[in-house]
Every structure is written in structure tokens, then in C-alpha cells.
Amino acid sequence: MSTRSENPRAVSVQADGVRVSVAADRLVALSRNVLRALKVPRAMISVTFVSAHVSATLNRRHLGHRGPTDVITFALGADPVGAVLADIYICPDVARRQAKAFGVGVREETARLVVHGMLHACGWEHPAGDERMTSPMWRRQEQLLQRFWITPTRTA
């Protein structure tokens, strides 16, 4: 699963031996729309879906937390021409558990994690704990998700 083109907002999506419920091209399009909405002219971002074991290893090694996590973003700053550089790791197993717990579809939760990672890549932060769900970053995340992913039900 890999999609990349000669776009100033280069986004690569791959699965590292795990099943992902959303096609790579849809996630690339979502990512580029988010970057455009955030007024990011250039970016080189990789989104990699990893196993719970890999997620737990990254979480322990880089954040000092135990167990797998939903998304980890390594914002690498900008290159000499100002392109946002980042690596985003998402764990589909955690996304499935969260989708069930929050009563949303797995595809929606996966998209939410991609948007969340993109925001972190662009410098957005949120507080730890329950306060994160009322933070400006969370509100922006949900607004972008609504705009680019969730299709409102139309009535005739």
C-alpha cells in the first residue's frame, strides 16, 4: 500500500504488515486536503500503519509510555525550502478498539487519526488527559474531519 506523486504536498501511506480499513489513495487525498486547509504549501509526510507491538515499542522508546497507542507523530521540522517533514505511525488495532468505544466506524476513526497526526506534524499540540478533547486542536481536528471525510446525510 503506497501512494506518492510529484505533488508539493507529498504524502506517502503504507501498511507495515497490518490490515488497514481505508484505501491509501483516500488517506492521501484526506491528508493533502488537511494540509491545504492549514495553508501548508509544501510537505513530505509519511503515514505508516503498524502493529500493536511496533506501536508499543515506539511509544515506550520515544514517549516513555507502556503499551500501544493510536497515533505517534514525529514532526521533523522543515527542510531548507520550508516543506513540513514528518513521520506518522498509526496502529489499526487501537483504532478499531477506539472506534468501538466511541461508537463510530473504523474508517472514520482511522481518518480521525490521520487528521490528528497531520495537525501534530504542522505544530498543533493538545494537553494530556481528558482536556485534549476540548482543546483547540481537537476542535480543529473534528472540523477538518467533518469537512473532508464525513458526508452529511442528505434528505430530499
| Lateral strand order in the sheet of 43-49 | 9-15, 43-49, 84-90, 71-78
Q: What is the pLDDT of residue 5?
A: 47
* pLDDT tens digits along 41-51: 999 999 999 99
pLDDT tens for each residue of the chain, 156 residues long: 544 446 799 999 999 899 999 999 999 999 999 999 999 999 999 999 999 999 999 999 999 999 999 999 999 988 888 899 999 999 999 999 999 999 999 999 999 999 999 999 999 999 888 888 889 999 999 999 999 998 644 343
Q: Which three cell numbers stand for residue 155?
A: 434528505
- For residue 76, give the 3-state DSSP assignment: strand
pLDDT number for residue 83? 93
Q: Tell me what pLDDT residue 4 has.
A: 44
- Taking only the tens place, the pLDDT of each residue in 121-153 is 999 999 888 888 889 999 999 999 999 998 644
Domains of the chain by start residue, with CATH: 9-148 (3.40.390.30)
pLDDT given for residue 3 in this prediction? 46
CA pair distance 84, 131, nearest whole angstrom? 27
CB atoms within 10 A of CB 99: 18
Cβ partners under 8 Å of residue 40, min gap 6: 9, 84, 122
